[in-house]
A and B are shown apart, each in its own frame.
Chain A
Amino acid sequence: MHHRLDALLPLAGAILFVMLWWLLALSGVIDPVLMPAPQDAAVALWKGFADGTLTHDFWQTVWRTVLSFVIATAIGVPLGIALGSSSRVYAAVEFVIDFFRSTPASALFPMFLVIFGVGEKTKIAVAAFGAALVILFNVAYGVMNAKKTRQAAAHVMGAGRLRIMVDVTLWESLPQTFVGMRSGISLALVIVIVAEMFIGSTDGLGQRVINAQMVFDMPLMYAAIFAAGALGYGLNLLFLVIERRFVHWGGK
């Protein structure tokens, strides 16, 4: 009884949030033009997906995020393995990587605009760049911190250097690689949304949010924000599920 109710607790928080929003809108303390009632935003969300405008924006954002992520993974994973397997190479480049990883990716937009021009390429490139650094860093860390005992065990059982890498080290780095990929796709989404807002876009959720704001269509703005939030949440959840399936042994 007790426990069955506990499972509903997260839902309670969500309901409470919508109630508060609704009460605040109802009270008229905030201009209803700035903050519409939740049901208005819900209707805008429904309409946006029914007539296909938000659907199109949603999939454009998904497409850009996934493409950036795939590029980032294709670059970050092999580079991370290479860096992680040589402590000297890693020591040499650690500072540079850490520096760029700490640099807000949005600060790099002008530079990428110069290289790739105003268009799709710049959005994808910046997002892929930011995500690749995060992935690379995590993979390298995972490879470096692989358990020496397991590598020793494989060595005694006749595995050579390359074998140990494939049979042990890569597996050992997998949990950390997943952490990197999960952070990487979240970062890619953030960068893509910002890019859609400010770098000459005609579609995407970021562009929809800023457009709705400029024409004062607040319900649509909130609907687009909600869609972006749901996308971020969904991607994170998807990766957690994949991670739990593939790295069931992580931390054990």
Chain B
Amino acid sequence: MTSHSPGSPHITIRGLTKAFAGVPLYDGFNLDFARGRITSIFGPNGCGKSTLINMIAGLMPMDGGQVLFDGKTLRETVIGYVFQNYRDALFPWKRAIDNIAYPLVRAGMDRAAIDARVDELVTSFDIGFDLKRYPYELSGGQQQLVSIMRALAPRPEVLFLDEPFSALDYEMTLSMRDKLQEVFHATGVTMILVSHDLEEAVYLADHVLMLTRRPTRIAEVIDFGAPRPRTSATLSEPGFVRAKAHALDVFQREVRRAP
């Protein structure tokens, strides 16, 4: 395998240290994220899932350690980030289409190139609503779809998603999961997905990163290799049921373990 083949390490985290108010959250934490795979992060509430991806994405400072993308620093890497709260993440003073174009404007692309890229996204997402509307005129699912398109617009190497569907109703969540799978199929972008829903974490992932309570360590990385596209039928297949049951065991063991 060459170093750029799918599954090879894409993000390498070495010696990551982070404490809040003197209480350690991460202490000498090491981890690799696989290229062109979906890795979901699952763990007890407050174990530091958001803090981890925020530090990787440069939204929160690390106390110590190093994060590299293919050996490059964050500054040299294009990333995308989808926030849980789309309402607070989109720019309500811009139309949906201008929200999507924003990272392209920031990247210094000219108008024609921006329009071409946005058209391409609109076509591939096959959306059924008017992007000339303002975000507050769209439904929650539509807003989160705009957020995802905005994050993907500059063709990021890595897409971070922090509980992207947890503010949506169940029906919308199901269709958004499939949309995300489509995106993954079409782009092959490395995805890091924080989820508080174990079913979702396993269903979407190639690897499920199970974290312990703080100070946070890796409890286990569970691989789930069911073929894509996965459908609702996947949810009742033995492989899925087994992986999910195992993840639940690991989770319960970690939650019960005395701190």
Contact, CB under 8 Å: B89 / A150: yes
- Evaluate whether A252 and B106 lie within 8 angstroms (CB atoms) in the complex, with A153-B81, A156-B81 already known: no
* Bitwise interface map of B from 101 to 122 toward A, beta carbon under 8 Å scored 1, else 0: 0110011000000000000000
A149-B89, A153-B81, A153-B83 known; A249+B136 contact, CB < 8 A: yes
- A152–B83 touching, CB < 8 Å: yes
Q: Contact partner of A249 among B79, B102, B107, B134, CB < 8 A?
A: B134
Residues A156 and B93 in contact in the complex (CB < 8 Å), given A149-B88, A150-B88: no
Judge whether B106 and A157 touch: CB under 8 Å: yes
Within 8 A of A (CB), among B8-60: 57-59
Number of interface residues of B (CB under 8 A): 24
For A154, list chain B residues within 8 Å (CB): 102, 106
A159 to B102, CA, bound (A): 10
Q: Residue of B at shortest CB range from A249?
A: B92
- In the assembled complex, the CB of A194 is this many whole angstroms from the nearest CB of chain B, namely 38
Query: What does the 1/0 interface line of A57-75 toward B look like (CB < 8 Å)?
Result: 0000000000000000000
Residues of A close to B81: CB separation below 8 A:
152-153, 156
For A246, the closest partner residue in chain B by CB is B93
Q: Does A168 contact B (CB under 8 A)?
A: yes
Assess A150 versus B91: contact at CB under 8 Å? Given A156-B58, A156-B59, A156-B80: yes
Say yes or no for B154: interface residue by CB 8 A criterion.
yes
Query: Does B85 sit within 8 A of A, measured CB to CB?
Result: yes
Complex contacts, B91 vs chain A, CB 8 Å: 150, 153, 167-168, 171
Which chain B residues border A159 with CB–CB below 8 Å? 106
A116 to chain B, nearest CB (A): 40
For window 133-182 of chain A, which residues contact chain B by CB distance below 8 Å?
147, 149-150, 152-159, 163, 167-168, 171, 174
Asked whether A158 lies within 8 Å of B89 as measured between CB atoms, the reply is no
Quote the shortest CB–CB distance from A242 to chain B (angstroms): 15
Q: Which residues of B contact A2 (CB under 8 A)?
A: none
Q: How far is the CA of A249 from the CA of B92 in the complex (A)?
A: 6
A205 and B88 CA atoms in complex are apart in Å by 46
A248 on the interface (CB 8 Å rule)? yes
Main secondary structure of the interface of A (DSSP, over half): helix
Known: A158-B106, A159-B106, A248-B134. A153 touches B92 (CB 8 A): no
Whether B85 lies near A157 (C-beta < 8 A) is no
CB of B59 within 8 A of CB of A157, answer no
B51 CB, nearest partner CB in chain A, Å = 13
- CB-CB under 8 A from B59, the residues of chain A are 152, 155-156
Q: Which B residue sits closest to A158, measured CB to CB?
A: B106
- A residues 218-252 touching B (CB-CB < 8 Å): 248-249, 252
Contact between B93 and A149 (Cβ–Cβ < 8 Å)?
no
Nearest-neighbour CB distance to chain A for B104, whole angstroms, equals: 9
The docked-state distance in angstroms from the alpha carbon of A171 to that of B91 is: 9
Q: A168-B91, A171-B93, A249-B93 are in contact. Are A155 and B58 (CB under 8 A)?
A: yes
Which chain B residues border A150 with CB–CB below 8 Å? 88-91
B11 to chain A, nearest CB (A): 15
Q: Which of B57-96 contact A (CB under 8 A)?
A: 57-59, 79-81, 83, 85, 87-93
- List, in ascending order, chain A residues with CB within 8 A of B154's CB: 157-158
**Closest CB-CB distance, A89 to chain B, in whole Å?**
22
Closest to A159 in B: B106
> Which residues of the partner chain B approach A147 to less than 8 Å between Cβ atoms?
88
Complex: how many Å from CA A159 to CA B154? 13
**A153 and B136 contact, CB distance less than 8 A:** no
Q: Is the CB of A163 within 8 A of B106?
A: yes
Q: Name A158's contact: one of B107, B134, B150 (CB within 8 Å).
A: B107
A171 to B92, CA, bound (A): 9
CB distance from A235 to the nearest CB of B (A): 25
Say how far B242's CB is from chain A's closest CB, in angstroms: 36
- With A249-B134, A249-B136 known as contacts, the answer to whether A157 contacts B103 (CB < 8 A) is yes
From A163, A171, A252, contact of B136 by CB (8 A): A252
Tell me the smallest distance from the CB of B65 to a CB of chain A, in Å.
20
A199 to B93, CA, bound (A): 45
What is the chain B residue whose CB lies nearest that of A147?
B88
- A62 to B: closest C-beta gap in Å: 31
Of A149, A150, A159, A163, chain B has the most CB atoms within 10 Å of the CB of A149
Name the one of B58, B79, B83, B102 contacting A149, with C-beta atoms under 8 angstroms.
B83
Q: How far is A13 from B154 in the complex, measured between Cα atoms in Å?
A: 58
7 contacting pairs across A/B (C-beta < 8 A): A147-B88, A153-B91, A154-B102, A156-B79, A157-B103, A158-B103, A249-B136
Closest 3 CB pairs of A and B: A249-B92, A252-B136, A157-B103
